[in-house]
Chains A and B, each alone.
Chain A
Amino acid sequence: MNVQASNAIEIRGAVKRFGPITAVDGLDLQVPPGICLGLLGPNGAGKSTTMRLLTGQAIADAGDLRVLGYELPGQSKVARSKMGVVPQLDNLDVDVTVEDNLAVYARLYRVRDVPAAVERCLEISRLATRRGDAVDKLSGGMRRRLLLARGLVHEPQLLLLDEPTVGLDPQIRTELWSLIDGLRAGGKTILMSTHYIEEAERLADEVAMMHHGKVIARAKPSELIAEHVGSQTAEVYGPPDRLAEVRAVAESEGLRVRPAGPAVAIMGAERSRNGTIPDDAVRRAATLEDVFVLLTGEEAE
């Protein structure tokens, strides 16, 4: 039975091992209704495994998981009927028409009025004029919009987006973002895994950073930035010897420093004393990328 839950997703102490690898390691994650939570982490952080745990395609070795009040994996089927999933990989039926792709999933989700659901999704995906075309005739952007609309065919209470724009070109990505933003603004509860900083920054009300199978930080993007890296970052460019010297000086003053491609980025630059940061440093507002790299030690995408 559905116990009216305060959180759309409630994960406590979830562990998932694949042989010697622990993909999810004591994960605690709560997603309240009506927000978009960005699950941000480098490849291998455990984001996709978390998604598979939530859809019942992976069974946790330990921990408690509830989705919309339904306990997993026992009540996973009921939970899945109320959540939509947009996968990382395009798994549309490519020879089948746009309309039939939607109709099939409307039936799988036991939608009562299949034609009405199909019309609604055609409108969401802006593909009404291509309804009779086979999917392999669509552009990459259209296919992605269709994939998103398919996940909404049964008007789910909760939407799981697994790396929704991975591998897409910037134009299609922006198109998808505006669609997702529309859903967020409409009050849909969304859990979105991503390893794109900008995606999390733009779309997520809150960001949970995952690393080595657990959440290592969680807050609104602005709060994460303020808490971990302050308000200003200074980037210093130069030969390796100079960068090493700049780094040593900044760290001796208690500032946090990270490599940033051909530069070093000194975080919390607003707190530096005169002379700590060279005059030729490029000062900019601190970003979520600074937090990501600082906390995970991985280069951001």
Chain B
Amino acid sequence: MEIKKGVAVSPGISIGKCLVIDAEDYRIPRRLIEPSQRLTETQRVRNVFKDAIEELIKLQAEQEEIEGQKMKDIFAVHLSYLRDRTLRKKITDMINAESVTAEFAVSSTLRDIASHFSKVKDTYISERAADIYDIEHRLLRLLVGGKRQDIAALKEEAVVVARELSPTQTASFNKEYIKGIATGAGGRTSHTAIVARSLGIPAVVALEDITESVNAGDTVIIDGNRGIVIINPDDSTIQQYLEYAVEYTELEHRLDAIREKPAETRDGVRVELFGNIEFPDEAHSVLEKGGEGIGLYRTEFLYLNRDTEPTEQEHYEAYSRTVAVFKSRPVILRTVDLGADKYTQSRRYAREPNPFLGLRSIRYCLQNLTMFKTQLHAIMRASVLGDLRIMFPLITNLQELMQAKMVLGDVMEDLDDEGIPYNRKIKVGIMVETPAAALTASMLAKDVEFFSIGTNDLTQYTLAVDRGNELVSTLYSSVDPAVIRLIRTVIQDAHKARVETSVCGEMASEPESVMLLLGLGIRKLSMAAPMIPEIKQIIRSVTVEECNKVARKVLGMNSERQISSFLRDAARKILPEAF
């Protein structure tokens, strides 16, 4: 039994057999397989050798006759290695003799050869080690890629353990079979976390070397409430967790009982609770959990998990399905927020050195007008079906907002020409998620109907912390005094301009932050569906007077640690079960 402590990012308990995904650019740990799995693993080795040979033949043919001769020669060497039966046999023999994974056998065999070369005194030979590493990398990439496809096609229940998962991978997960997620990298607001929460799968991230500690098929407990992962638990631990899981489900049921009751404070102040979604299917669970509308529809998920761009009709169908669930209740569509860690990087010829400060989100849309207009056309077409609203992400200045609104104006003209009806008075707002937007909220407020504070990006840009980097993720906190001051500025400026402000970042779903947000003046929160009942319970247990006091106290504190422990204590008194 081994206990690992990470960061809890999606609540719930799951116990299951684990499925491990290695990373091709990370050291492959020695991991054991069941003897019955040997045949599958040796077959995987044979398959990737075949695929790698095909890849190399193609690459070789693509090289220019003369300039590419050197490359051709290099590929010829790689090809002869891949065709070397004794090499393949060495790898498959290792799998059979030691019951290790294909990934480990490939990696350790080739690394042995490479290190043998690097020890040779003759530089001509020792430099060949680089070729061997290149071959290793090609094989691992194919092995890991295949494994990821296997997970998308999973047919039995499992918990996934990985170094890291991309939004595209998590988006293709089958919720029916994937019962929990544990990753080495990532933070509370990583996309693995966001997707896990919205799918209602327990998840723990930032477990560092977790992939080195598990073997495929090990029993793993994922405690998404406390941020603990237990590998090969003993019987009494399993028993204890089974009981705990039952208790937790009971709490969930108890919370479900308040579904029909309004989110109203004890002194009668009404708060609106909305849901965040990625896919139209999730709209129902928002409604089931008592959500009153959609506060953040992350439309870019329509682009992930596929090879081609969605058509206008596909956009339209997704939006009209979502609106149909909520009828006349608001559905706020955030226009495509691609770039940074989502989608665009893999399609670029050269990676951006600093993608989070690069061509992402609204910037990407304004440079890809055809794509942007396609989406806006579909949104406007669906706007007659209910209360659809448009929200532009990552605005940093007024000019960007005006440009985006101008493109929307163009699309409206097109619709007029086509004789297609749409809602001329559609509400347009922006995400306030950069310090620039927060500081100029009073200027931006004149041209929008609503603000939604995206606390995840606002925190990462304010504190200059990569939210997915476990080496610095402890610095990331949305209750840092700097972030709180920016949020207060936005709320005050929006209030003066009579612009409605909501919070749609993860902060809105953190029980410990709710009192602070209410105290700062927020009356509208949007969060992942599973969190709605718990947040409602907190709202129903407090008075605005108490919240104002909390906010006043927090604004007088000068350290993040002081603030977060104060907020946790305040919330624990209200809903002890949640902690």
- Asked whether A and B interact, the reply is no
Give residues in B with beta carbon < 8 Å to A. none
Give residues in A with beta carbon < 8 Å to B. none
